[in-house]
Amino acid sequence: MTTTLESLTMSGLQQVEEPTVLYEPYTYQPGDAETRLAALVAITQQNPMLELTEEKLRDGINVYIARVKHMGEWVVAGVCGSFLQYNDDTVREIGGVTVLPEYRHGSYHDEHIGTTLAWLATESALHEGKTALAFCNTASLNTFIRIGYSEAPLHEVPQAALAECAGCKNCDFDKLKQPCADTIMIKNP
């Protein structure tokens, strides 16, 4: 007797589907900013957010990527992680939530890739007893609200975190009393 997919399905066994998105911890490989993560790095260079760089990818903590199947190959479609830490590593900034445009807003098999990546990075930090902090632009604010962050008053933000704004191409922090991010969000362990 030959067993076919149809006979297995008819006998009550379900076909195990290949996952549509793989979420996994990111392992740095030299040159990633120019190779497998190049499209994501380019997005951060074009948008009002701190840029992902080779150094941030190398030094990141609790960084996760999402891979999707594209033309038979698994490609990196999103990234998020803790790229900066403050107050003797008691506060981790979760950021760099970047997803390729064609995979955003549940458009890929109803997966909310950015939200899942932000949740993974946040939960890793909280599991280690760290406070999670996010500087949100309008594109990322709802992502962090969905995973339980609340708005942080400016006085609760570590000064070292605000100092990072000095290097941001999108912000003239000397003229402003707050960073250019629309909202600063926080989630405590």
Superfamily of domain 17-187: Gcn5-related N-acetyltransferase (GNAT) (3.40.630.30)
Average pLDDT, stretch 52-65? Answer: 88
Helix (H, G, I), strand (E, B) or coil at 24: strand
Beta strands in 45-179 (DSSP E): 61-70, 73-86, 91-99, 131-136, 150-151
pLDDT tens for residues 168-186?
A: 665 655 554 555 566 888 9
pTM of the model: 0.80
pLDDT tens digits, 97-123: 989 888 887 666 667 899 999 999 999
**The token pair that represents 44 in the structure block:** 């951060």
Q: Which residue has the tokens 């939530």?
A: 97
